[in-house]
Chains A and B, each alone.
Chain A
Amino acid sequence: MSIKHKLTSIRMLLLTMLVIVTCGSVSAQTVTGKVTSSRDGAALAGATVLVQGTNTGAFTDENGEYTVNVSGDGVLIFRYVGHETLEEAVNGRSTINVTLQASEKTLDEVVVTGYGTQKAKEVTSAITSVKAEDFNGGNVNDPSQLLQGKVAGLAISRPGGNPNGGFNIRLRGLSTVGANTQPLIIIDGVPGADLSTVDPQDIASVDVLKDGSASAIYGTRGASGVILITTKKGIAGNANIDYNGYAAFESIDRVVDVLTADEYRNFGGGTDLGESTDWFDEITRTGLSNVHNVSLSGGTAQTSYRVSLNYRNIQGVAINTGFDQLNGRINLSQKALNDKLTIDLNLASTQRNSDFGFDQAFRYATIYNPTAPVRSTDPEFDQYDGYFQQVLFDYYNPVAILEQNTNEAKRKQIIANIRGTYELAEGLNFSMFYSQQRQNTIGGVYWDKNSFLTGADRNGLATRRSDDQFFQLFESTLNYNNTFGALNLDLLAGYSYQDFLNEGFGATGGDFLTDAFQFNSLGDAGDFNNGLGSVFSYKNSEKLIAFFGRVQGNIDDTYYFSASLRREGSSRFGTENQWGLFPGISAGVVLSNLFTVEGLDFMKLRAGYGVTGNRPNQSYISLLSFGQVGNFFFNGEFVPSYGPTGTNVNPDLKWETKSDISVGLDFSMMGYRLNGTIDFYQTTTNDLILPFTVPVPPNLTNTTIVNIGELTNSGLEFSLTYDAVDNDGFKWTPGINGTYYLGTNLVSLSNEDFNFGGFRLISNLGSPGQNNTPLVRVEEGASLGQLWGLTYEGINDDGTWRFTDLNGDGQINDEDESVIGNGLPVFQLGFNNTFQFGNFDLNFFFRGVFGHEMVNTFRAFYEAPSTISSYNILATSSDIAELTDSPRFSSLHVEDASFLKLDNATLGYTIPLAGDASFRKIRLYVAGQNLLTFTGYTGVDPEVRFQDGADPLAPGIDRRNTYFRSRTITVGVNLGLQ
């Protein structure tokens, strides 16, 4: 029992005695008084003074003074946002002055940093911590979804509603183009752990290390930021059982706006096949998903545990897509040797069966003739299992694609960690950590013997592949913490070893007697006899080794500093360049401890500098290896021919390094009701690791992976939370965060050996008919993401395109192309509102991204009215109805894709329970995702396309295989048993 508790007990005892003594003389009286804050003694205006057990009460005036009528034995409840609530018995007094204890809750929150934790007020780098209660709600199947829009500077994007699709995560814009653009994920201390090994329901908090001074401790892989995920742990005390479950209904929110059958008939030029088919309806459904999570947790002073089981059955909006997943997790902590030794154990396993479907179906649903039937009994179509098909270039019945064929995978993951921490002396801890993750995926694709897209031409076509990815991590750290007078020091030294092994094999073969085998009996494929079958296998490895150290300190809780250094080596470089050095340094000063500003409760200025690195995405760049390069006709037969494979060897390749400067200000105002952070960052990346086109000759192939060029990137971030209202029974907490991207600038892509040549045009629009039509200009000394092309002016009288003749030479050609947009956003906003009224809770969250443009490739291909002769066209074709020319990309197809979404809204009701009920908690809720979208973009989804395929140099292209955008309604329950 704490001292405070003891006092309260004594006071209650006295109070009880007083009540007994004075019980005969109870009468109403007027009480006056003043409410002040413990922080600086200032009067609190607008504080609530409530008479316990009644609805009567008063607010304090601007001087903090109040008057209230209360019986002499009554109790007053004093409440003010940002302060602890105080109950005060009247005891017949007529004047009651109280001082409310200011809560510094947010400043005392634990923030997870690399290899340790700090209190929020001690942090000197740009780190944002998001706790479970602030996560996005609804049907969340990927941990990154929890954070979407919640963290300034963190952009999380998944165009369309593909249940099996991954999220593109980008922190503080782009700082690398050839290496990894996604932040390093660290789950319970394991760098590089796979996000899918952890169920969103099991996550306690996510901490985002945004600047180099924080992430330099992770050296080589911290350049794109670090996201630390901490799973929920057991807490000493009663055993708890929790159940969380929900059902979700996912439906199409938006598809490409094409002509309906009637519109198609009226438009003219198309072939009327007599039916009316909505192809989007045909390939979609309302996806019904259900998710269940059960967890058991509890513990004693020595042992704590949490065990959970998660089941997800998710249906995609496209027919025959979705997954089901079973995930189990055990987190165990045991103390021994007089509490000097702590063993932590995590074990997690995930099994997931996915049905991917075929994204091509979306493209063909867009262009398929709306007057065509889905199926036909005409014997002509027996060869296609009765699905209607027509012979046109790149034109296939989308229903047939999804229904006839199979594309699935089974993935098994297991991750096991064990950590032992021993307290060698007071404040001196030694820790050893071992972790292993294995992931095995076995996939299969089968194209039916009667599938027109492919399959029929191969008499059935099956692919099977298995991939096994393994890594193990060993880390050992020594930590010392002590206070010397006003100085508190925290020292860390460590060693880290991680190796990776990837291996797999697969085979593809066609020519089957029957569809019955699917991909399960590849030996029956005739193609392995006629030579058309193919098999492969591979195996590769990588090692990362690091030594690191850090000093963190604080003087008088006013001056904070941190300095870290990591020396890391990767086997992917040539022997001379394997090791890199990555320092990080930061400092902060609590200004509010040095001088007092009216209304300001807390203010800390901090600044940091850090260097982080990137390694190449592949192994063996420094070795000249041979592989099969086709077959050679020798002596009347083909023999395999061997030669160098892949890119040119580069033993001189070294680390790509990013240095960044970050300056930030954390503040609390209005009695800790308003908390905010402002950050500025500027990064410079040098020696970018890039596949570079090199002259042939003298090089073997035209690509070498080189260190080249410089990229800079800067931005401004802010976040604010405000305890706007906190009255009895009603609470409103708005929060807002924003990121202003000041620009990503490609300073140079040349060095003394290789010249980029000023600019290059990349990202071909493609077939049909628009090959050799680059959409993006990559220019040295200019900002990244330039969309490039002719400027549309209108349509000539003869029905041809009219473009701006920029150079005025009377001709329209490449030289009239210019920048017609930028694919990267300028501003990003998250606006959250949490309400609590009585037992109800309501949360709604707006998310917006502004200033990015997008190439709407659907329009670039299918808007020109002349294409109707073969394909369905977009409804917007009527805007250019007089055009007779063939489709040609121009500024007409580049659209402003700024958007604001009501991303997420949740309404919950917590059933009030008697204290002795067997339930600790019963909460029912309904949630909606993607409820409203405000945008001028006419395509399916205005979410930022950060890269084109895997190329981050070409953002802003909405390709035709985009999954439809969906909307989800979720109904769920949270149960707590005790």
Chain B
Amino acid sequence: MTNQSCTNLDEEIFSEVLAEDFFQSDEEFISALGSAYTSLYGYMDGRMLSVQEVASDAVVVPTRGQDWDDGGHWRRLHQHLYTADDPEAGNAWSFCYSGINACNRLLFQFEQSGNADAAGFISELKVLRAMYYYWLLDVFGNVPIVERFDVPADFAPATTPRAEVYTFIETEVLDNIDALTKSVDGSVYARVHYYVAQALLAKLYLNAEVYTGTPQWDKALDAINEIVNSGIYDLEDNYFDNFKTENSASRENIFVIPYDQVFAGGFNIVARTLHYGSQATFNLTFQPWNGFCTVQEFYNSFDSLTDRRADMFIVGPQFAADGVTRVDDSGAEADDFDGTPLTFTPSINELGPNARRQAGARIGKYEFALGATNNLSNDFPVYRYGDILLMKAEVLWRQNPGSTEALDLVNEIRARAGAPEFATLDADLLLAERGREMAFETHRRTDLIRFGKYNDAWWEKDASDPTKNIFPIPRGQIDANKNLTQNPGY
């Protein structure tokens, strides 16, 4: 017992590295930068998927007897009866702000480090942060803006009105876009670069009327044309090449979340949508959860005879991986149409509580590789060129309903899917086409709102109040920060 240790209570660390000892090498800077991107992995793990799709007319999570009741929040999401206590809004909130926090922290640490290389990352981080804020703008509308990491512990930021959040995002992107690289190669795959920033601007301007009351079609078109005219992107011949397991080579990918079953888990739609018995169909390494499926009307909006995109649904008799043996659903309800052999039916008998376990067309848009884990390796396209072309068509149509260029762009998309050409365009056709092309890519709720259809009645849902167009600020956040103001209607 030495004198020194007699009252020495310094903590000894072994398997941790202190923040102050980090940032010693380039590798460490890159590793640190990564933590702003790894936050994205929650995107399809329910975080954005649920609020953007289950609240829309495309996806439904029926209560199947014992399964998926969960206090009724899935039904409330579908019926637009969500409350500040329901988990999905809280999940989306935490998802966005954990990303924003990571960006703020890195901006602070990179600036503190004085490292020249680190400075190169600052614009990238600011635009990535703007992307997280864009999702908050879209989902919650009025949110607090926090730009700095070094705030006092009791800092309680107030809610910023939606229009100001819009301006903040626009300014951040415009201030930093020119510092971003325009040379798009493997080194910036799944990272923010110039065209990702343009795609973000395009989304922001396309929905500007919803966010601020003032449309920005011209600005939207400028941003879209920056991407289209770059010549970097093109439509894939096969629509489904965008969604297969090895889809990183797709020329439509503008910004993806690079999911991977080993390194970047979180893309678990395979578990959410498939039936327990489907494990045998895909030799999955886990038992799926039998939840998410599509609403029959949405399924019917695809012409399965001509539109190849209809193959994104899994319906009908299910077979084991050998393609021959029927999969048995030994827990089939007595009144199931086809009894024990597992058969997915597009029609769903009810939203709950006793939706049949085999009911509902399943979401098979993203390839399920044989032997997949519940973390798919398919990269998820956040911004895809097909979307950009439809956005361009919509902007042109909104500027001039008779625009032939708009019609041609829509028909280009339809032709790729093998669907017959449209002769004219109208709002319903455009929205339906976006529905088919962009299904389950987390754009449906935003599109419905922009086309004024979000509050309509649909299957098992009454007409909803426009206050439901933005989600409530989660109760935990309101409780923890007295400066937050709840959105109207909650």
Contacts and interface: CB of A to CB of B under 8 A. Distances in A.
Contacts of A295: none
A625 B20 CA distance: 8
A541 interface: yes
Contacts of A699: 101, 153
Interface string B1-36: 100011111111111111110100001101111110
A391 B262 CA distance: 27
Interface in A373-403: 390-393, 395
A623 B18 contact: yes
Interface in A509-525: none
Given A696-B101, A755-B482, A773-B71, A631 B38 contact: yes
A385 to B, nearest CB: 18
A631 B22 contact: no
B154 A642 contact: no
Interface stretch (B295-303, B325-333, B437-445): B325-333
B415 interface: no
Interface string A680-712: 000000000000011111111110000000000
Contacts of B279: 391, 457
A888 interface: yes
A276 interface: no
A835 interface: no
Contacts of B17: 625-627, 642
Interface in B325-357: 327-331, 333-334, 352-354
B322 interface: no
Contacts of A645: 16
Given A545-B9, A632-B34, A639-B31, A393 B290 contact: yes
A636 interface: yes
A644 B104 CA distance: 13
B430 to A, nearest CB: 34
Contacts of B41: 630
Interface stretch (B163-171, B184-192, B358-366, B401-409): B184-192
Contacts of A543: 8-9
Contacts of B27: 639
Contact of B481 (A537, A640, A695, A870): A695
Interface stretch (A74-82, A740-748, A861-869, A967-975): A861-869
Given A393-B276, A627-B16, A569 B66 contact: no
B333 A869 contact: yes
A540 B11 CA distance: 9
B37 interface: yes
Contacts of A395: 331
Nearest to B7: A545
B66 A887 contact: yes
Contact of B34 (A390, A538, A634, A814): A634
A753 B154 contact: yes
Contacts of B284: 457
Contacts of A625: 13, 16-19
Interface stretch (A58-66, A97-105, A657-665, A763-771): A763-771
A407 interface: no
B422 interface: no
A571 B157 CA distance: 33
Nearest to B190: A633
Interface string B85-122: 11100000110011011101100000000000000000
Contact of B63 (A503, A538, A539, A769): A769
Interface residues of A, number: 92
A755 B480 contact: yes
Nearest to A495: B6
A569 to B, nearest CB: 5
A771 B71 contact: yes
Contacts of A530: 262
Interface in A637-692: 638-645, 652
B30 A639 contact: yes
Contacts of A867: 65-66
Contacts of B10: 571
Contact of B105 (A391, A531, A700, A887): A700
B412 interface: no
A693 B71 CA distance: 22
A642 B31 contact: yes
Contacts of B69: 769-770, 773, 886-888
A697 B190 contact: no
Interface string B255-277: 00010111110000000000011
B387 interface: no
B381 interface: no
Nearest to A753: B154
B28 A642 contact: yes
A644 B105 contact: yes
Interface string B31-64: 1111101100100000000000000000000011
B307 interface: no
B19 A697 contact: no
Contacts of A640: 31, 34
Interface string A459-490: 00000000000000010000000000000000
Given A693-B480, A756-B479, A701 B276 contact: no
Contact of B354 (A652, A754, A886): A886
Contacts of B66: 393, 768-769, 861, 864, 866-867, 870-871, 886-887
A269 interface: yes
B191 to A, nearest CB: 8
B428 interface: no
A861 B263 CA distance: 36
A569 B7 contact: yes
B19 A532 contact: no
A861 B67 CA distance: 10
A631 B259 CA distance: 10
Contact of B480 (A545, A629, A754, A884): A754
B70 A771 contact: yes
B87 A772 contact: yes
B472 interface: no
Contacts of A575: 9
A572 B9 CA distance: 8
A243 interface: no
A754 B477 CA distance: 11
A301 to B, nearest CB: 33
A755 B479 contact: yes
Given A625-B16, A627-B16, A269 B70 contact: no
A430 interface: no
Contacts of B87: 772
Contacts of B22: 626, 642
A632 B480 contact: no
Nearest to B289: A393
B144 interface: yes
B429 to A, nearest CB: 37
A495 B1 CA distance: 12
B232 interface: no
Interface string B63-87: 1111111111100000000010111
A636 B187 contact: yes
Contacts of A392: 276, 330-331
13 contacts: A391-B330, A457-B285, A541-B13, A543-B9, A620-B13, A633-B37, A696-B98, A697-B104, A772-B86, A814-B83, A886-B63, A887-B66, A887-B69
Given A497-B5, A638-B258, A769-B65, 16 more contacts: A391-B279, A393-B276, A539-B14, A571-B9, A624-B19, A636-B186, A638-B264, A641-B31, A642-B17, A643-B38, A695-B156, A696-B94, A701-B101, A754-B480, A867-B65, A887-B66
5 closest A-B pairs (Cβ-Cβ)? Answer: A632-B34, A641-B34, A757-B479, A643-B35, A772-B71
Interface of B: 1, 5-20, 22, 27-28, 30-35, 37-38, 41, 63-73, 83, 85-87, 93-94, 97-98, 100-102, 104-105, 144, 146, 151, 153-157, 186-187, 189-191, 258, 260-264, 276-277, 279-280, 284-287, 289-290, 327-331, 333-334, 352-354, 373, 475-482, 484
